[in-house]
């Protein structure tokens, strides 16, 4: 078979060669190694005997390797590699569309609706994908669905029909056809080739090291809402509602494997792709943290103790991030945690001893008399909840919140940083940041486009 080479010229073959020969996990997901003699593409950490350089083609993304005719390796499982944003470049439209597609947007919407959602034409969106990835948006979406299905076939005991539903296919026949075309193997061949002893739905989500889990866990643990979240030194978990479906996850850190083992419970398996995408975002698994640390150390090494592997702890939803931000205005972390707990336990629904964060509708229907905060703050909560109820699509852009009485720039920026995991937010007005900046002269602009990471570095000083 003749394979097409669509390698991006920004890849340095010398760097890629050194990384794959060293099986350097820091490059895992940044590029993929395709072998012309076998027709297989691998992660750079693949345990197989390294092929000769003359038989290798390097790709920046798995979808381009697949489109060129290569199938994923069954040993290193490229579907499990951490994602990389480096190849996206600085194109904001492409970043936003990829984020939506990775979250399963095209499973419930058309391409035209996706284009309208990000305010461009579907023709321009297709051109953008072809230019940057060499595939259409739909091809990219189907490839992501097939990689999720492959991971489920490897790591779970789900029947193949449930795997089809969980990966976003409406029928087993369509799933089999698309999977065979994309992966070059049938689902039953994958399941037969690699069995699993795991029970229930358990996935392994990888990241590129280093990962400062102790500081991530401490930050999340200090803000834990009892019944909604749980954590100890090795894991973090929480409940969630997604498109009306209840679920929960527990992510256990495995430092040796550079991964989190995630145990999932989900009422509606068709929401799985969105859930996995959000867990990855919440734990910040896809960032190239070494690049960010190098930038911060270059500019601030004399003033700050830069912690390697310090990630952005996310919040499950933008709405929850907004509510937490409003309740956290001008109070301590402990006081904010108490206020959020009261909101959850008075307005959220519960199953057994577990609580779920309240919906915008629940907040709009309550007078919030159970919570001891100024009436103006209660009105701000109502304003945000009404915004999500009446204008849900507009409310997904936190910049629109500034028109709501009681919401200022700090609240919006905090929600962006933790609810959307935007990487370039500097909370200069935050009291903790101001304390950390005492007797320091820093230029935050030098950290662009990673000012959110500078914010967290300052919070940890």
How far is C-alpha 265 from the geometric centre of its chain's CA atoms? Answer: 18
Q: Are 277 and 254 in contact (CB under 8 A)?
A: no
- CB atoms near residue 11 (< 10 Å): 16
Number of domains within the chain: 3
Buried b (16+ CB within 10 A) or exposed e, 290-321: eebbebbeebbeeebebbebbbbbbbbbbbbb
Cis peptide before 358 (omega within 30 of 0): no
Q: Are 59 and 86 in contact (CB under 8 A)?
A: no
Same domain, 270 and 370: yes
Same domain, 193 and 212: no
For residues 42 and 62, what is the distance between their CA atoms, to the nearest angstrom? 9
Same domain, 193 and 213: no
For residues 44 and 15, what is the distance between their CA atoms, to the nearest angstrom? 11
Model pLDDT, residue 11: 72
Cis peptide before 11 (omega within 30 of 0): no
Q: Cβ neighbours of residue 315 under 8 Å, at least 6 residues apart?
A: 282, 321, 324, 418, 419
For residues 322 and 280, what is the distance between their CA atoms, to the nearest angstrom? 20
For residues 239 and 222, what is the distance between their CA atoms, to the nearest angstrom? 17
Does residue 452 sit within a domain? yes
Q: In what order do the strands lie in the sheet with 259-266?
A: 201-206, 259-266, 245-254, 235-242, 229-231
Q: What is the domain extent for residue 103?
A: 89-199
- The token pair that represents 213 in the structure block: 């889990």
Q: In what order do the strands lie in the sheet with 40-42?
A: 56-59, 32-35, 40-42, 71-72
Q: Which of 72, 98, 116 is the last residue of a domain?
A: 72
Same domain, 65 and 192: no
Same domain, 168 and 244: no
* Entry field: residues in the chain: 461
CATH of the domain at 371: 1.10.340.30
Query: Max Cα separation, the chain?
Result: 71
CATH of the domain at 119: 1.10.10.60
Q: Are 101 and 140 in contact (CB under 8 A)?
A: yes
Residues of the chain with pLDDT below 50 are 1-9, 86-90, 193-199
Does residue 169 sit within a domain? yes
Model pLDDT, residue 192: 61
CATH of the domain at 35: 3.40.10.10
Q: For the chain, percent helix, then strand, then coil, each to nearest 5?
A: 50, 10, 40
Same domain, 51 and 177: no
Strand 71-72 and strand 56-59: the pairing is unpaired
Half-sphere exposure of 198 (CA within 13 A, CB side): 19
Model pLDDT, residue 5: 42
Per-residue pLDDT tens digits for 29-55: 889 999 999 999 999 999 999 999 999
Kindly report whether the global pTM for this prediction surpasses the value 0.75. yes
Instruction: Name the nearest CA neighbour of 103 among 287, 245, 271, 237.
Output: 271
- The token pair that represents 181 in the structure block: 């075309």
For residues 68 and 3, what is the distance between their CA atoms, to the nearest angstrom? 6
Per-residue pLDDT tens digits for 1-20: 444 444 444 578 888 998 89
């Amino acid at each position: 078979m003749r394979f097409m080479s669509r390698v991006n010229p920004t890849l340095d073959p010398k760097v890629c060669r050194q990384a794959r020969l060293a099986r350097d996990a820091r490059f895992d997901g940044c590029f993929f190694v395709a072998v012309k003699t076998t027709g297989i593409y691998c992660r750079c950490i693949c345990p197989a005997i390294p092929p000769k350089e003359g038989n290798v083609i390097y790709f920046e993304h798995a979808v381009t390797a697949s489109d060129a005719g290569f199938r994923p390796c069954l040993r290193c499982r490229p579907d499990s590699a951490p994602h990389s944003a480096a190849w996206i470049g600085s194109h904001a439209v492409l970043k936003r569309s990829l984020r939506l597609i990775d979250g399963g947007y095209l499973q419930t919407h058309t391409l035209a609706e996706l284009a309208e959602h990000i305010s461009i034409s579907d023709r321009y969106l297709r051109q953008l994908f072809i230019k940057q990835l060499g595939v259409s948006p739909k091809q990219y979406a189907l490839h992501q669905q097939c990689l999720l299905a492959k991971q489920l076939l490897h790591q779970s005991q789900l029947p193949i029909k449930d795997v089809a539903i969980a990966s976003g296919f409406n029928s087993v026949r369509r799933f089999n056809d698309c999977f065979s075309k994309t992966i070059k193997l049938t689902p039953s061949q994958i399941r037969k080739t690699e069995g699993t002893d795991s029970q229930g739905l358990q996935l392994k989500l990888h990241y590129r090291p280093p990962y400062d889990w102790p500081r991530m866990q401490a930050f999340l643990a200090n803000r834990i809402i009892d019944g909604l979240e749980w954590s100890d030194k090795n894991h973090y978990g929480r409940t969630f509602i997604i498109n009306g479906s209840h679920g929960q996850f527990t992510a256990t850190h495995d430092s040796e494997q550079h991964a989190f083992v995630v145990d999932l419970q989900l009422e509606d398996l068709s929401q799985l792709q969105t859930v996995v995408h959000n867990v990855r975002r919440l734990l910040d698994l896809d960032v190239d943290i070494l690049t960010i640390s190098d930038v911060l150390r270059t500019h601030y090494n004399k003033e700050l103790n830069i912690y390697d592997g310090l990630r952005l702890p996310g919040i499950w939803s933008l709405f929850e991030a907004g509510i937490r931000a409003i309740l956290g205005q001008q109070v301590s972390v402990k006081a904010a945690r108490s206020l959020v707990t009261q909101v959850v336990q008075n307005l959220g629904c519960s199953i057994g001893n577990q609580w779920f964060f309240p919906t915008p509708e629940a907040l709009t229907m309550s007078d919030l008399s159970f919570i001891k905060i100024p009436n103006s703050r209660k009105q701000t909560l109502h304003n945000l909840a009404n915004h999500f109820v009446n204008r849900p699509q507009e409310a997904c852009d936190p910049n629109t919140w500034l028109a709501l009485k009681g919401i200022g720039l700090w609240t919006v920026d905090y929600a962006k940083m933790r609810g959307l995991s935007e990487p370039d937010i500097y909370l200069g007005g935050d009291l903790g940041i101001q304390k950390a900046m005492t007797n320091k002269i820093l230029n935050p602009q030098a950290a662009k486009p990673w000012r959110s990471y500078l914010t967290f570095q300052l919070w940890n000083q």
